[in-house]
Structure 1
Amino acid sequence: MPTLKNLAVLDTFILKWFRECTPKILVVTDGLNFSAGDDFGLTRFVDALRTSTVHAMTPIVRTALYTPGSGSAATLDAATQHISNFQFTDATHGVLKSRYDVVFLLAITTEGGAGLAQEPGAQAAIVNFMQQGGGLFATGDHEDLGAAMCMTIPRVQGMRRWAAADTPSGGGIDRLTTTGPGTNDVFEFADQSDALPQRLYVNFRTSFGVGVAHPVLQVPGAAPARAIEVFPDHPHEGECRVPGVLTGKLPDGVTDEWPVATGSTQRVVPEAIALTVSEGNAFPGKAAVAPRSFIPVCAYDGQQAEVGRVVTDSTWHHFVNVNLIGLTGRNLTDLHQYYRNLSTWLMPKHVRRCWRYPVLIRELVRYPLFEEIRLEPVEKLDGPALHALGEKVEDALQRRFTRADVAAMVDDALDEMLDARTRKLLDGFHGRYGEVSSRDTGLAALGALTLATGNTALQLQDKGDDVKDAIGLFDEAAAKALRLGIQRYLGDAREGLRKLDEVIGAVLR
């Protein structure tokens, strides 16, 4: 039986076949910088993104300095991938869904300063990006730092405190400090740069399930699943919030700011995915505080309502050089995972669906799947066999990716074949009648998808560079396999239930 080539050879094909799947990320600031030697530089964050894999691909990460109302043309330095004089409406480099998948806004200009109000059309460009499925991250710092860029952006405006009158101070008794004393047991400003991070109290009861962290705070390969429980600390953070009113409109005055979920009558609600604690004594320029908890990260799953996802963070001090220089080991690894998770979770649905092909191809030539799976036609396997295959693939993927990443692959496979109403009906069984459930049907779909992906790669690998529209070919094979896999699994389940009904009927006679 023909086999897939080794990983090194396949990777050269993957980069060409799935070039369109490469995640495109834009990091925008209006006053921080991208200098490696500067305390307020974002280089450690950007470098972490550029050396990570997002959806199994190395992302294209562009940086940008926002200069609203400057009148100068935006320019891209191809060597550094940095945009000077960035404008959200710039014809060549501005924010469009076709140009970027995820946009990070790390803003510093205060309320009333130069921001979106000085660039006609900027807010509309961001809103269109979000409405079309683009992912948006936004943060500032204490008081109203970041308000000029972010405080009027729909959804973002309600998921964090931005206005000067509504934010914690930089030095008063209301400040939010997460910086504990260093090894000398003295509270000092410099402690934000030491090896001792703040502790996050993860919310294990979000819309993504009970007993698992939100996808933004998950780590791969953990069994039992652990979560990211550390952030860099800082003596005066900002504050995220869950909005209490969800009836607002977009600037057009008609479209709901917080739309209802597809197939539902309920609005999708932002979530506090963790809490942290402000506590600490005074030191020069900073008052002692009474301890209290606050929200460091808020997340909105707009994809449930066919719009983009949004995440807000309490401060960009979770991203700048001065707060990262002391972190090492697992603390630093987990922080980099947070950056990767943000990019992954915020990614538009169509880009996320594309990632499954390179991931599955690579797994098929790695241990353990290369020993356990024969690339047979999907038609040869019945429902239980496809389900068993899906379980093997799921287990292998969870060694390298977060549970949320793998669950998203399964959910996307089901969503392509089943409408929202059917999914809801299937979810309602929860395995009450054997393995008739959305999850088990999804595992059978994953098994079928894996075979289709492997067999398509097998057919195309000898063509190499001559393959045209590789994604289209994989999509076509996937659609056929998913339909067949779901039909086989549910058909076999129905037959099993019919036989069970006969036995029950005989017993009750």
Structure 2
Amino acid sequence: MLKNLAVLDSFILKWFRECTPKILVVTDGLNFSAVDDFGLTRFVNALRTSTVHAMTPIVRTALYTPGSGTAASLDATAQHISNFQFTDASHGLLKSRYDVVFLLAITREGGAGLAQEPGAQAAIVNFMQQGGGLFATGDHEDLGAAMCMTIPRVQGMRRWAAADTPSGGGIDRLTTTGPGTNDVFEFADQSDALPQRLYVNFRTSFGVGVAHPVLQVPGAAPARAIEVFPDHPHEGECRVPALLTGKLPDGVTDEWPLATGSTQRVVPEAIALTVSEGNAFPGKAAVAPRSFIPVCAYDGQQAEVGRVVTDSTWHHFVNINLVGLAGRNLSDVQQYYRNLATWLMPKHVRRCWRYPVLIRELVRYPLFEEIRLEPVEKFDGPALHALGEKVEDALQQRFTRGEVAAMVDDALDEMLDARTRQLLDGFHGRYGEVSSRDTGLAALGALTLASGNTALQLQEKGDDVKDAIGLFDEAAAKALRLGIQRYLGDAREGLRRLDEVIGAVLR
């Protein structure tokens, strides 16, 4: 029998220490002060006090000072790097050092940026090509361009150049700040309790009728999504690039590669729209209303590179725009931060999280009452499928549907080659219960049993376990293979009987 959650958690922290998500937050002119309007403290604290893939992340902040000539230094207590350089040997950007990087940039086009640090752009490109997740944002006009406007993929998913961006005060500015409770348009309204409205795209590559994972809420019906952002009277603008034929700086590698096993390129998506509208603020013109893209997402993992998200403004992250939010609005914005870090995580981190999640779930209600740990070999395909459904239901109460679906998809991708997966995706349950989803649920059931049984064996050894992740991986591979084979084998038998019936009718 598995021990109680408190005891298991102490083991989990040791067994899966290598799974701890590592996040870097970089700015070149904002700060991390708790009392400064343009501080990122509330955002960073939301990450540090959350769980990403069921693990508490290590969040390191950094002030980028390109060309300063001063060596980077780490304050280990504050987890902050001064004089950060992307190429620094001790603290710079390496895939082995960080999983996800947030770039919240303010320096304008022509200012000190990547061009002043030789090798900086190459370090970022290597990180992305190796599967690292990247987030980037600036503000109105060309704020943030010096750091971000030449980064592949990022450059096409947001407007950065001065000649291509909305102004800060003209009629073309993008304002999402409405009048306050006094019905007057004031700059201070961006700090009140009234956020902007998001119009969520419920038709993305992640499904119809559900929000993109970046905008999902745990434990919610599919129609429930994050529909608010902090507001601001002059935002920047994201976009979906019109051309996907560019190359990386090496002149050879595709900027937008083909999806694995496909002839189609993976395309960035507008996962929501918002609306710019309103009368004049002091010193600013009234605007002609129009919609624009506040957040754009690229699923590079479909093409074996890193994921990318761009946002219209870092005013969705700084203290001045968060101070007035409360209740559900605040919790939804904080969920957006967690979702960004979670969705951008590389595959290997996401695949690692499944073990601690499933172990913990097995000692919680309702699964501790419904599941008895036995060898996977004792279960047939339908039984594994039923078990997977129970696990899915339990997980969706604590995690977003996107996170749970990713666990199922990863299980299938791990066992099936791209061609087989495409064939399976094509069934959609039209013939019996043969579909990727149903097969994936059987795999989830098998994975749950393997995770629980392995934890059962290792808990008696406590801290004296070498290569725990390797042991879980080995057990998972065997269970997933058996679970998929059992389910598809039973499905084949069902289809054979159906074929006999059809043959008898048609004779």
TM bucket by the smaller chain? over 0.9
Structure 1 contact 111–145 (Cα < 8 Å) conserved: yes
Structure 2 contact 169–285 (Cα < 8 Å) conserved: yes
Q: Deviations over 1:78-126 (max 9, x none)?
A: 1100000000000010000000000000000000000000000000000
Deviation at 1:508, TM superposition (A): 2.6
- Output the CA distance in 2 between the equivalents of 1:269 and 1:494: 35
1:240-279 matches, cutoff 5 A: 240-279=238-277
Structure 2 contact 210–222 (Cα < 8 Å) conserved: no
Consecutive unaligned residues in structure 2, runs of 5 or more = none
Q: Deviations over 1:334-376 (max 9, x none)?
A: 0010000000000000110000000000000000000000001
Q: Give the secondary-structure state (helix, strand or coil) at the position aligned to 1:465.
A: coil
Share of identical aligned residues, percent? 94
- Output the CA distance in 1 between the equivalents of 2:132 and 2:80: 20
Q: Deviations over 1:115-138 (max 9, x none)?
A: 000000000000000000000000
Q: Deviations over 1:5-31 (max 9, x none)?
A: 000000000000000000000000000
Structure 2 contact 209–222 (Cα < 8 Å) conserved: no
Q: Deviations over 1:247-301 (max 9, x none)?
A: 0000000000000000000000000000000001012111000100000000000
Q: Deviations over 1:420-468 (max 9, x none)?
A: 1101101111101111011100000000000000000000001001000
Structure 2 contact 280–286 (Cα < 8 Å) conserved: yes
Deviation at 1:224, TM superposition (A): 4.4
Deviation at 1:496, TM superposition (A): 1.1
Structure 1 contact 250–256 (Cα < 8 Å) conserved: yes
Q: Give the secondary-structure state (helix, strand or coil) at the position aligned to 2:463.
A: helix
Distance 1:365-1:225 versus aligned 2 partners, 3 A rule: farther
Distance 1:13-1:225 versus aligned 2 partners, 3 A rule: farther
Consecutive unaligned residues in structure 1, runs of 5 or more = none
User: Aligned match of 2:291 in 279, 282, 293?
Assistant: 293
- Output the CA distance in 2 between the equivalents of 1:111 and 1:426: 48
Structure 2 contact 389–441 (Cα < 8 Å) conserved: yes
Deviation at 1:59, TM superposition (A): 0.2
- Output the CA distance in 2 between the equivalents of 1:89 and 1:481: 42
- Output the CA distance in 2 between the equivalents of 1:127 and 1:175: 32
Structure 1 contact 116–122 (Cα < 8 Å) conserved: yes
What's the counterpart of residue 118 of structure 1?
Answer: 116
Distance 1:330-1:488 versus aligned 2 partners, 3 A rule: same
- Output the CA distance in 2 between the equivalents of 1:99 and 1:191: 40
Structure 2 contact 450–475 (Cα < 8 Å) conserved: yes
What's the counterpart of residue 388 of structure 1?
Answer: 386
- Output the CA distance in 2 between the equivalents of 1:88 and 1:508: 69
- Output the CA distance in 1 between the equivalents of 2:480 and 2:225: 32
Q: How big is the alpha-carbon RMSD for the aligned residues of Structure 1 and Structure 2?
A: 0.6
Q: Deviations over 1:180-231 (max 9, x none)?
A: 0000000000000000000000001111111000000000101244000000
- Output the CA distance in 1 between the equivalents of 2:431 and 2:5: 41
- Output the CA distance in 1 between the equivalents of 2:125 and 2:337: 23
1:470-509 matches, cutoff 5 A: 470-509=468-507
- Output the CA distance in 1 between the equivalents of 2:336 and 2:194: 17
- Output the CA distance in 1 between the equivalents of 2:25 and 2:325: 22
- Output the CA distance in 1 between the equivalents of 2:286 and 2:506: 73
Structure 1 contact 70–85 (Cα < 8 Å) conserved: yes
- Output the CA distance in 2 between the equivalents of 1:225 and 1:348: 27
- Output the CA distance in 2 between the equivalents of 1:202 and 1:105: 24
Moved over 6 A (4+): none
Structure 1 contact 175–237 (Cα < 8 Å) conserved: yes
- Output the CA distance in 1 between the equivalents of 2:36 and 2:335: 23
What's the counterpart of residue 440 of structure 2?
Answer: 442
Q: State the TM-score, normalized to the length of structure 2.
A: 0.99
Deviation at 1:500, TM superposition (A): 1.6
Distance 1:374-1:225 versus aligned 2 partners, 3 A rule: farther
Distance 1:224-1:262 versus aligned 2 partners, 3 A rule: closer
Q: Give the secondary-structure state (helix, strand or coil) at the position aligned to 2:291.
A: strand
Deviation at 1:497, TM superposition (A): 1.1
1:365-380 matches, cutoff 5 A: 365-380=363-378
Q: Give the secondary-structure state (helix, strand or coil) at the position aligned to 2:183.
A: coil
- Output the CA distance in 2 between the equivalents of 1:225 and 1:444: 26
Q: Give the secondary-structure state (helix, strand or coil) at the position aligned to 2:24.
A: strand
What's the counterpart of residue 432 of structure 1?
Answer: 430
Q: Give the secondary-structure state (helix, strand or coil) at the position aligned to 1:265.
A: coil
- Output the CA distance in 1 between the equivalents of 2:420 and 2:281: 59
Deviation at 1:507, TM superposition (A): 2.5
Deviation at 1:505, TM superposition (A): 2.0
Deviation at 1:506, TM superposition (A): 2.2
Deviation at 1:149, TM superposition (A): 0.1
- Output the CA distance in 2 between the equivalents of 1:199 and 1:40: 22
Q: State the TM-score, normalized to the length of structure 1.
A: 0.99
- Output the CA distance in 2 between the equivalents of 1:443 and 1:487: 13
- Output the CA distance in 2 between the equivalents of 1:280 and 1:251: 42
- Output the CA distance in 2 between the equivalents of 1:10 and 1:231: 37
- Output the CA distance in 1 between the equivalents of 2:500 and 2:212: 43
Structure 1 contact 219–225 (Cα < 8 Å) conserved: no
Q: Deviations over 1:382-441 (max 9, x none)?
A: 000000000000000000000000000000000000011101101111101111011100
Structure 2 contact 211–222 (Cα < 8 Å) conserved: no
Distance 1:394-1:264 versus aligned 2 partners, 3 A rule: same
- Output the CA distance in 1 between the equivalents of 2:380 and 2:14: 34
- Output the CA distance in 2 between the equivalents of 1:284 and 1:319: 23
Structure 2 contact 60–79 (Cα < 8 Å) conserved: yes
- Output the CA distance in 1 between the equivalents of 2:240 and 2:328: 30
What's the counterpart of residue 217 of structure 1?
Answer: 215
What's the counterpart of residue 320 of structure 2?
Answer: 322
Q: Give the secondary-structure state (helix, strand or coil) at the position aligned to 1:359.
A: helix
- Output the CA distance in 2 between the equivalents of 1:480 and 1:145: 51
- Output the CA distance in 2 between the equivalents of 1:132 and 1:192: 38
- Output the CA distance in 1 between the equivalents of 2:193 and 2:271: 24
